[in-house]
Amino acid sequence: MKALVLLGCPETPSQTPMAVYVFNKLTKMGYDTTIAANPAASKLVRVSDPEGFYNLNIVDLERLLGEINEGDYDLLVGFVHKDAAASFFVTFEQLLNTKSLALVFSRDADEVAEFVNMIEESGSNAKIVAVRAFHNPSPIKVKFDKAIKEFE
Q: Which residues, listed in sequence order, are joined to residue 76 by a DSSP beta bridge?
A: 4, 100
Going 61 to 66 to 67 to 73, the CA torsion angle's sign is positive
Residues from 4 through 63 that contact its own copies (CB under 8 A): 9-18, 20-21, 24-25, 40-41, 43-45, 47-51, 53-54
- Pair type for strands 2-6 and 75-80: parallel
Q: Which residues, listed in sequence order, are joined to residue 35 by a DSSP beta bridge?
A: 5, 58
Would you say 50 or 66 has its CB closer to its own copies?
A: 50
Would you say 25 or 31 has its CB closer to its own copies?
A: 25
CB 60 to its own copies: min, Å: 15
Residue type, 72: D
Residue count, binding to its own copies (CB under 8 A): 32
CB 2 to its own copies: min, Å: 21
CB 103 to its own copies: min, Å: 13
Going 30 to 126 to 87 to 73, the CA torsion angle's sign is positive
What three-state secondary structure class fits 135? Answer: coil
Residues from 70 through 109 that contact its own copies (CB under 8 A): none
Length of the chain: 152
Contact residues toward its own copies (CB under 8 A) are 9-18, 20-21, 24-25, 40-41, 43-45, 47-51, 53-54, 134-138, 141
